[in-house]
Chains A and B, each alone.
Chain A
Amino acid sequence: MRMQRQLMPLSITGSGSSAVRFLRFVPQVVTGAAAREYTGLLTCSEEGLIHINKLNFESLERIDDGPDAEQVVYAPLTSPAEAVSSISVASSGQYMALGTSMGTIGQYVRTGGSVDENFPDVLKGTALFKVNDRSPNPRLAPHKESSSPLRSLSLDSDVLGNS
């Protein structure tokens, strides 16, 4: 259970990565259990270079079969002093957000290539993007309770009705 073996190293061009994330990556045709044979790997450097690679789920070897195999995305940095300070990927694998040291937030979305039963293709117009992986419908933010009154009335107040 505790034995770990090192896999083949991954060669990723560009500057060094300071953040790494796995992506839920469902291919265009295969669905169900076989769809999990693919995964995505996201590496992000502080300079704003984001590499997204399509990998084999088991061996983590790179797969070169189409435009989704590798993609480079650039963060919205405005000055050389600005750096990517944090990054997050939604559990559905359709959203990605990053924040910079100057307060800029960039948000990215993956279009197409998803035909899982939980994620109908957005291009078909049957559903839009989702943050969570298991929710068939978007879960809106929880209801916010109104704030408590600043002044409370005593029980014998005339404002209250008498019964």
Chain B
Amino acid sequence: MWREYSSFVLDLPKVSNGVSSHLSTYTSCITSMEYDKYFDMLWISSKSNAGSNNGRITSYGYIEDDSAAADVVDHENFFPTMYRYSSFSTHDIVQQLLPNQNILVAVGQSSIGLSTYGGASVASMGINSCPAKRRTIPAAVTEERRFTCSDFLYKQASSRISSAFVADHIIVGSSDGEAYVFDLQHFLSPVMTFAVDRAPVCIQSNGNLVCVGGVDGCVRFLDGQFRSSEVTSCIEAHSGTITDMCMQSDGRTLITCGTLRLPINPYDKHSPFNVSTSMSTKSYESAPYPCIR
């Protein structure tokens, strides 16, 4: 049974007048959270609701006091203590955090930053350094390019939840319908560019294939071994935008959730659409292929 362990407001650093930021008139929005797979830590990225373009990354660690635990009778109500490990600002609003064993990858809207767990910058990559789309861009897509989502690429399959592997590549989607693959060791330029038609919303990878969920409700499958830059197959999963995807730990089952986008008059091709806020969940299973169970 799940029960609430703690609930707190993100502890932001003091501002110049000595008052904590969360006690002032504006608050912060949590943009991304991620549990570390290598250390018992929780990573949190936030942005100010006052409209600032800067973000902040805060990490919390867990202390397990064995001597105190031995004296506790009611173990169900004994939890490790959390403490703030690091907190540093970023020049971009971070929308996804990917810790990778002592290196933190922060994917922002306009840049990707690699930093140590303490916050020292190691490398960064702006979206302007990535090759722009060469094909004709739809008229609706005239907004500024930005990164949308990302995921690590592992060499072995069935390693989504394992802490034994360290990712060596990262795939990042952009709003102009491209997915860039970067080598984390040589973080200079994309080593491969996948041409997905629509802007990716979420990306999931299991080592053998990469699933890219788009704003058009389609899930596109890419080759995780970088043998082809084309879309291998496509599933029309939802009529509206895909909101989230999740892959089972063995990499065979994929669950998507998205919105419904139905025409008001189904017999009229030019009918306006009604986007429903009620979302649906669908699951897919891949055909058997060699994987570690």
A, B assembled together: yes
Choose the segment among B130-138, B177-185, B241-249, B261-269 that binds chain A (4+ C-beta atoms closer than 8 Å).
Answer: B241-249
- Chain B interface mostly helix, strand, loop or mixed? strand
Which partner residue on chain B sits nearest A95 by CB separation?
A: B35
A162 at the binding interface (Cβ < 8 Å): no
Q: How far is B9's CA from A36's CA once the two chains are assembled, in angstroms? A: 36
Known: A3-B287, A102-B29. A123 touches B38 (CB 8 A): no
B39 contact set on A, CB distance < 8 A = 131-132, 139-142
Q: How far is B244's CA from A89's CA once the two chains are assembled, in angstroms? A: 14
B255 contact set on A, CB distance < 8 A = 20, 22, 41, 60
> How near does chain A come to B260, taking the closest CB pair, in angstroms?
9
19 A-B residue pairs with Cβ-Cβ distance under 8 Å, sorted by A, are: A7-B253, A10-B281, A17-B243, A60-B285, A71-B1, A71-B2, A86-B30, A95-B35, A102-B29, A104-B10, A105-B30, A105-B33, A106-B4, A109-B2, A109-B79, A123-B75, A138-B40, A140-B62, A145-B118
Q: Interface 1/0s, chain A 67-78, versus B by CB < 8 A?
A: 110010100100
A128 at the binding interface (Cβ < 8 Å): yes
Q: Does B243 contact A131, Cβ atoms closer than 8 Å?
A: no
B79 contact set on A, CB distance < 8 A = 109, 128-129
Q: Does B8 contact A105, Cβ atoms closer than 8 Å?
A: yes
B192 at the binding interface (Cβ < 8 Å): no
Interface residue ranges of B40-80 to A (CB < 8 Å): 40-42, 44, 46, 49, 59, 61-64, 69, 72, 75-76, 78-80
Q: Does A91 contact B29, Cβ atoms closer than 8 Å?
A: no
Q: Does B257 contact A6, Cβ atoms closer than 8 Å?
A: no
A125 contact set on B, CB distance < 8 A = 69, 72, 75
Interface residue ranges of A111-132 to B (CB < 8 Å): 111-113, 122-125, 128-132
Interface residue ranges of B145-188 to A (CB < 8 Å): 161-164
Q: Interface 1/0s, chain B 252-281, versus A by CB < 8 A?
A: 011111010000000000000000011111
B229 at the binding interface (Cβ < 8 Å): no
B28 contact set on A, CB distance < 8 A = 103
- Chain A interface mostly helix, strand, loop or mixed? loop
**One of A39, A73, A99, A139 near B40 (C-beta < 8 A):** A139
B25 at the binding interface (Cβ < 8 Å): no
Q: Does A133 contact B161, Cβ atoms closer than 8 Å?
A: yes
> How near does chain B come to A126, taking the closest CB pair, in angstroms?
9
A96 contact set on B, CB distance < 8 A = 2
Number of residues on chain A facing chain B (CB within 8 A): 78
A4 contact set on B, CB distance < 8 A = 221, 233, 235, 254, 284-287
> How near does chain B come to A25, taking the closest CB pair, in angstroms?
11
Q: A16-B278, A124-B75, A141-B85 are in contact. List 19 more A-B contacts (CB 8 A).
A: A2-B221, A4-B254, A7-B253, A7-B283, A9-B283, A10-B281, A17-B244, A52-B2, A60-B253, A86-B30, A91-B35, A104-B7, A104-B10, A107-B6, A107-B7, A108-B3, A134-B163, A141-B117, A142-B117
**One of A5, A18, A21, A100 near B287 (C-beta < 8 A):** A5
B91 at the binding interface (Cβ < 8 Å): no
Q: Does A134 contact B40, Cβ atoms closer than 8 Å?
A: no
A88 contact set on B, CB distance < 8 A = 33-35, 42
Q: Does A85 contact B31, Cβ atoms closer than 8 Å?
A: yes
Which partner residue on chain B sits nearest A51 by CB separation?
A: B281
Q: How far is B41's CA from A68's CA once the two chains are assembled, in angstroms? A: 26
Q: Does A17 contact B281, Cβ atoms closer than 8 Å?
A: yes
Q: Does A87 contact B33, Cβ atoms closer than 8 Å?
A: yes
B2 contact set on A, CB distance < 8 A = 52, 71, 73, 96, 108-111
A57 contact set on B, CB distance < 8 A = 248
A63 at the binding interface (Cβ < 8 Å): no
Interface residue ranges of B3-25 to A (CB < 8 Å): 3-10, 22
